Structure 1
Amino acid sequence: MNPIIELRHISKTYYLGKLDVPVLHDVSLSIMPGEFVAIMGHSGSGKSTLLNILGLLDKPSGGEYLLAGKEVSRLSDDELAGLRNKFMGFVFQQFNLLPRMTARENVILPLVYADNKTNAPDELTLLERVGLKERVNHKPNELSGGQQQRVAIARALINNPLLILADEPTGNLDTKSTAEIIGILKELNNAGITIVMVTHEPDLTEAADRTITVKDGVIVSDVSSGKQRTLAAAGSDGSMAAGFLTHNLLKLQRVRDYFQQAMRSLISNKTRSFLSILGVLIGVTSLIAMMALGQGAQEEVKKNISSLGSNLLFIHPAAGHQGGVALEAGAVTQISLQDVDAIRERVPGVARVTPYASGRGQVVYNGKNWNTRIDGTSADFPVIRDARVTEGRFFTDAEATSRAKVAVIGKTVQRELFGDRDPVGEFIKIKRIDFQVIGVLPAKGSSGWRDEDDKIIIPVNTAMYRLLGKENVDTVDVQVTDYNAMDDVSDRINKLFAVM
């Protein structure tokens, strides 16, 4: 007859950071089908770790574990879970019953994870078998410690296991309840179920066929009681364990059981469920609101950035120092229109160049007046700054060169001077000089504290020589052909100014 359990040179080491903690050393043992084996040892001896490995709750660090002839130490977690569910029953010292469920509901809980429920014994029969016929609808807090452990034993039997693993099953029980639990385990063993029990009480080992003593992670004794028993047969070729590995992990029946279990939990905890759902709703709503705000802010930033144009370099006259005092920008270094032409003609990678000469002035139309910003620039402004006119047109290169007195106004200026009227073709006075309105700029909104629609665009030559009296430009926009060439073009412009 082949063993149902066979360990070959099993070792177990826990790794805690850089510290290695060996727990089991070269453990080898065999357990025959139908045996009642007690594992003895003091706290820290390694007996619970050994039981966890036997119960597939932990994996050994080395060695082989054969379950009904099948090597299982290298199986996946899902495969081990399937074997535990179908092959083993567990009885723990702490009972591990769900407090919101009745004794009957706790017993049938393992069936939720089982594939084949047709061969499962009736839970009422199992509860009657352990002496709880009158307590099937009681919850754990309505049962004594011994009764709770009986429910745990009935739960361990629901899947017809061939092996029951008990970890200190009487550790929390009084003497009478201890005797009752040991009696139930002996009855199960007499029915052919293999039982492995961990205990530190020598009196309990009298019920076992064998007593294995563990000390410092090593088996120091393996004593048989000498009882003559007819042991049950176990598969010799591993087909029993192999069959358990073929179970289907996802079945419609299982999904239905999960759903029923979830609904039962929700119904039995109405207040908690309501608060949990409310918390989820608040969290989801807050997340949606935050994402919406973030998306809106992102779009606004994109809009503001796009209004500046793409692949742009901004050139400002440098500020100098005199006697340790910083001077205003342009007081030392200045940029002329000839410099602008040099950038356009002598720097590779430049697509367009637009100079700016800016100031403020009073604008008058039919008795209405408005103080606004005046920008003199080139005909490339609409392309570089993505500001194509919405009404009329922009001025041409010829108009810019000839110092034409034409103007393109922003939306704010249009509103303050013309209201709802069409301003195209009308004449306005800028600093007492007549200009014809030829177009209206698109709405740009505000940028920081400044209203980007409160301005008038005129040709740069007109602004410098007819209106503002400037000999040099204030700033220059340079549009680069390729974004990746921005740094290179910037270096070339700096070198150009250094030699000019």
Structure 2
Amino acid sequence: MIELKNIHKTYMMGNTEVYALAGVSLKISKGEFIAIMGPSGSGKSTLMHIIGLLDRPDDGAYYFEGSDLTALSGGQLSALRNRVVGFIFQQFHLLPRMSALENVMLPLIYGGKGHLKDTAKEKIALVGLSDRAAHRPNELSGGQQQRVAIARALVNDPRIILADEPTGNLDSKSQEEIIAILKRLNDEGKTVIIVTHEKEVASCAKRIIYVRDGKIISDETFVPYVENKIINTVSAPGISSQAAQGLGGMKLLDYVKQACIAMFSHPLRSILSILGILIGVAAVIAMLALGEGAKASIEKRLSSLGANLLVIRPGSAKIQGVALEAGAVTRFTIADVNAISSLSGIVKVVTPSVVGRAQLVYANKNWNTQVEGTGVAYESIRAATPEAGRFFNEQELKAQEKVALLGATVAKELFGENNPLGETIKINLINFKVIGVLPAKGASTWRDQDDIVVIPVTTAMNRLFGKDYYDTIYVEAVAPDLLEETQEAISALIKRQHRLSKEQEDSFQIR
């Protein structure tokens, strides 16, 4: 049935090689009852693992019913092990949340086989625990738990039973019960292999193999082997076909059942786990929402500044070590605006601006704010399309019309909830007609961007502030990737336009 030829197995413990098996050769026939004995570290457990297809040898050949298993994959070995080998361990390895019957059913579930409960009940009855089938492991004695483990090993009707110290944790009465069950299984035709330290247990076997230092030092047969006729009459599928079939696998309903059993056996733990998952998911969603909100806020602020925008302002300068105020060297005029506008291919639109503080009066309300005089292109450059009303036009710009657009803060302070369109306000005692309300832009650093009034630049220069130069020039580049090139071109143009020396090159800023 099983033949091992020159099996070697080595483990690494740190930097040291440990030879668990060194040239082991062994034949096991159908229906034998074998005990493998040896001191701790002798290699007997490693030998059992290789016989049971739980491990692969480093060297040597393994034949099962004449077929070489060396070339089989891990999945194929698992499939074969599931069908032909049943394991019984010193530790019972029963799932505490399941009843004895449910523990016995597990190999059938994982193997994808039908008639789970009937088959499991049959094996539970075989080990004499029908009346304890509904009990959980903690409600069973050690001997009863080991009998459940035996029933679980038998549920797939394996040809080989491998038992590793099956009586190690049991009292003498329970030992006798387990040995009696193993003998009965062997009498029914199963091949039984026991790994044990105890001579009393080994004496029940018909053949005893002694292992020391990874080698078989003796192999004694006490009862002559007689081929079991029951086994010979069983028509078993070929090894290659069994391995090729693979495991049937659990069905969706089986997964659901196992999940429900696990959840309801520990309700508090399940509730806490679900709560933890919900909190985690909620936290992730909240963080994503905050991130998206921050992103949207930043995008809104950037869009409120205008697209591809460059702002040119006069700066302070030092002449022969003497610091001069901003605008003392470089004062922008219409000539600068026209020159910058002529930079075709990189400049899309240009508009000048003058700025000053002014006192606003409407009826019995006063408000001091910033007044900006600018051109018609300001609407597109600074994304200032009015939320209500309209922007001034070229005709009003040229005619120095006294028209004004109010920022959201100014409109609220002077008019509250009332509509300001068409109303007349005084700006530094001069009457202006309100023609629009600018879109809300919110606060930027320390300044409220909505605390502003926008009027035509010609009106601001000639009627309000009496200025003959511009404070700022707004430039919109053709594309974002041309901003750097546009900035360099404008800088060179202004230096030429104002004949700036090296010492005066810092007398303006472009941002």
TM-score between both structures, scaled by the size of structure 2: 0.79
- Provide the C-alpha distance between the structure 2 equivalents of 1:325 and 1:168, rounded to a whole number of angstroms: 99
- Provide the C-alpha distance between the structure 1 equivalents of 2:219 and 2:56, rounded to a whole number of angstroms: 26
- Provide the C-alpha distance between the structure 1 equivalents of 2:483 and 2:16, rounded to a whole number of angstroms: 56
Partner of 1:263 in structure 2?
260
Secondary structure in 2 aligned to 1:108?
Answer: helix
Query: Which residue of the other structure, out of 195, 200, 211, is the alignment partner of 1:213?
Result: 211
Q: Following TM superposition, by how much is the alpha carbon of 1:430 offset from its aligned partner in structure 2, in angstroms?
A: 1.6
- Provide the C-alpha distance between the structure 1 equivalents of 2:170 and 2:327, rounded to a whole number of angstroms: 93
Q: Following TM superposition, by how much is the alpha carbon of 1:160 offset from its aligned partner in structure 2, in angstroms?
A: 0.9
- Provide the C-alpha distance between the structure 1 equivalents of 2:345 and 2:451, rounded to a whole number of angstroms: 35
Gaps of 5+ in 2: 498-511
Secondary structure in 1 aligned to 2:245?
Answer: coil
Q: Following TM superposition, by how much is the alpha carbon of 1:400 offset from its aligned partner in structure 2, in angstroms?
A: 3.9
Q: 1:413 to 1:62 in 2, by over 3 A?
A: farther
Partner of 1:391 in structure 2?
388
Secondary structure in 1 aligned to 2:274?
Answer: helix
Secondary structure in 1 aligned to 2:211?
Answer: strand
Q: Following TM superposition, by how much is the alpha carbon of 1:159 offset from its aligned partner in structure 2, in angstroms?
A: 1.3
Q: Deviations over 1:125-162 (max 9, x none)?
A: 42343243443333222222222111111111111122
Partner of 1:428 in structure 2?
425
Q: Which amino acid aligns with 2:170?
A: L
Partner of 1:246 in structure 2?
245
User: Is the 1:67–1:241 Cα contact (8 Å) retained in structure 2?
Assistant: no
User: For residues 308-323 of structure 1, what are the structure 2 equivalents within 5 Å?
Assistant: 308-315=305-312, 317=314
- Provide the C-alpha distance between the structure 2 equivalents of 1:323 and 1:181, rounded to a whole number of angstroms: 108
- Provide the C-alpha distance between the structure 2 equivalents of 1:20 and 1:196, rounded to a whole number of angstroms: 31
Q: 1:469 to 1:38 in 2, by over 3 A?
A: farther
Q: Which amino acid aligns with 1:209?
A: R
- Provide the C-alpha distance between the structure 1 equivalents of 2:352 and 2:194, rounded to a whole number of angstroms: 91
Q: 1:466 to 1:172 in 2, by over 3 A?
A: farther
Q: 1:306 to 1:322 in 2, by over 3 A?
A: same
Q: Which amino acid aligns with 2:219?
A: V
Q: Which amino acid aligns with 1:168?
A: E
Partner of 1:148 in structure 2?
145
Secondary structure in 1 aligned to 2:357?
Answer: strand
Q: Following TM superposition, by how much is the alpha carbon of 1:37 offset from its aligned partner in structure 2, in angstroms?
A: 4.5
User: Is the 2:206–2:222 Cα contact (8 Å) retained in structure 1?
Assistant: no
User: Is the 1:115–1:247 Cα contact (8 Å) retained in structure 2?
Assistant: no
- Provide the C-alpha distance between the structure 2 equivalents of 1:442 and 1:128, rounded to a whole number of angstroms: 84
Secondary structure in 2 aligned to 1:434?
Answer: strand
Q: Larger deviation: 107-116 or 266-275?
A: 266-275
Q: 1:139 to 1:331 in 2, by over 3 A?
A: farther
Secondary structure in 2 aligned to 1:277?
Answer: helix
Partner of 1:101 in structure 2?
98
Secondary structure in 2 aligned to 1:213?
Answer: strand
Partner of 2:501 in structure 1?
none
Q: Deviations over 1:386-426 (max 9, x none)?
A: 33123332123454455443322223322333345543344
Q: How many pairs were matched up?
A: 491
User: Is the 1:374–1:456 Cα contact (8 Å) retained in structure 2?
Assistant: yes
Partner of 2:479 in structure 1?
482
TM-score between both structures, scaled by the size of structure 1: 0.80
- Provide the C-alpha distance between the structure 1 equivalents of 2:23 and 2:462, rounded to a whole number of angstroms: 100
Partner of 2:453 in structure 1?
456
Residue 195, structure 1, aligned to residue 199, structure 2: no
- Provide the C-alpha distance between the structure 2 equivalents of 1:333 and 1:58, rounded to a whole number of angstroms: 87
Secondary structure in 2 aligned to 1:371?
Answer: strand
User: Is the 1:356–1:474 Cα contact (8 Å) retained in structure 2?
Assistant: yes
Q: 1:169 to 1:397 in 2, by over 3 A?
A: farther
Q: 1:186 to 1:248 in 2, by over 3 A?
A: closer
User: For residues 414-425 of structure 1, what are the structure 2 equivalents within 5 Å?
Assistant: 414-425=411-422
RMSD between aligned alpha carbons?
4.1
Gaps of 5+ in 1: none
Identity level (%): 45
- Provide the C-alpha distance between the structure 2 equivalents of 1:332 and 1:80, rounded to a whole number of angstroms: 89
Q: Which amino acid aligns with 1:149?
A: Q
Q: Which amino acid aligns with 1:304?
A: R
Q: 1:136 to 1:367 in 2, by over 3 A?
A: closer
Residue 158, structure 1, aligned to residue 148, structure 2: no
User: For residues 251-400 of structure 1, what are the structure 2 equivalents within 5 Å?
Assistant: 254-315=251-312, 317=314, 338-346=335-343, 348-400=345-397
- Provide the C-alpha distance between the structure 2 equivalents of 1:50 and 1:354, rounded to a whole number of angstroms: 90
- Provide the C-alpha distance between the structure 1 equivalents of 2:384 and 2:291, rounded to a whole number of angstroms: 26
Partner of 2:407 in structure 1?
410
Residue 467, structure 1, aligned to residue 487, structure 2: no
Residue 228, structure 1, aligned to residue 232, structure 2: no
- Provide the C-alpha distance between the structure 2 equivalents of 1:389 and 1:51, rounded to a whole number of angstroms: 86
Higher Cα Rg, which structure: 2
Secondary structure in 2 aligned to 1:363?
Answer: strand
Q: 1:476 to 1:204 in 2, by over 3 A?
A: farther
- Provide the C-alpha distance between the structure 2 equivalents of 1:332 and 1:208, rounded to a whole number of angstroms: 114
